[in-house]
Structure 1
Amino acid sequence: MLIGYARVSTEDQNLDLQRDALGRAGCERTFEDRRSGAKADRPGLLAALDYARPGDSLVVWRLDRLSRSLSDLIALVRRMEGTGVGLRSLTEGIDTSTPNGRLTFHLFGALAEFERALTRERTGAGLAAARARGRRGGRKHRLTPERRAHAVELYRARDRTVGEVCRLMGISKPTLYAYVAEAEARS
């Protein structure tokens, strides 16, 4: 049996393209999610996997509909293989129920892992080069050092609530607590 799975990242996106493709592919039942692929909690995918029996195939329009992370995707396919469920990706033309499909899937996986490693390496080299030139990453402080010190003084005086200090300084509570921790680390 072919079981379809469709996912979009947000509520306002449309599943019609994926539904149509899965219907043309012959899926008898389709499960759906409307949430990011980076989130582990995908009830539609879990329901599809619970519904699938040995010999069935989970069909997706594209592999990125299953997962954003290669390691998560490979773990998911291994889990499916362990229960006798195959994977078909319509766009990439992959079918893990065949030897050629398994080979293609693992080659894609190896290439994607290689690309991620190169990206990490280039990013690290770029950050190191920027640090060597005196540049620091991260978000700029909202307040000047003097105003940060003043916020910490107001917090330590305990004359106002944390919320009042934050409204007065125009910062959030986590920012205030970060400034307090920074001041304590310096003293």
Structure 2
Amino acid sequence: MQPTDVEDVTLFSAIRSGDVSAMSVLYARHHAAALRTARAIGGPGLADDLVSDAFTRVLSSILNGSGPEHAFRPYLATTIRNLYVDGLRRRARELPVGDPEVLDRLQADGSDAVLGANEVVDVLSALPPRWREVLWRTLILGEPLSVVGERLGLSENAVAALGFRARGGLRAAYLARARAEDGGASRPASVQLT
């Protein structure tokens, strides 16, 4: 064990015995590393929240008698990763609802440009699998281009270009479906799928 690990174990014992101020020592010792880890995992926009939530969760675990036993930093890094993944899963289950004023204006104009769930699935299923994946990861999950690039084995620029083509393909598939449903008539383009 590293000397800092031995000191951390002493701090765990202090926290478990009710000395919550020992957590501030752990925080000061590991905050910078936790922030670097969080930036690498979730990007700079989420890093502060991930670190704050991770320290809170770890403190709660230690107070409840669980949590790290030996090495604090790897435990904290795993907690940060788990919080990020939990956030992705939670956002994937959420159904975004449009601004009611915008939807009311669209309906008042007589526009039926808001797609139903079945139409969206049909339009997306017409796209190549790689396009669907890049749209899902960037638009729905909100993953950074660097993360999507790692998953797909592409550079950030290649992911951006693929996303651009995929959005264009989605737009074209939607318009083709709309024209087919209207018997070839033009359909209002008041909603952009970008």
Decide which structure has greater strand share: 1
What TM-score comes out, normalization by structure 1 length? 0.28
What TM-score comes out, normalization by structure 2 length? 0.27
Decide which structure has greater helix share: 2
- Higher alpha-carbon Rg: 1
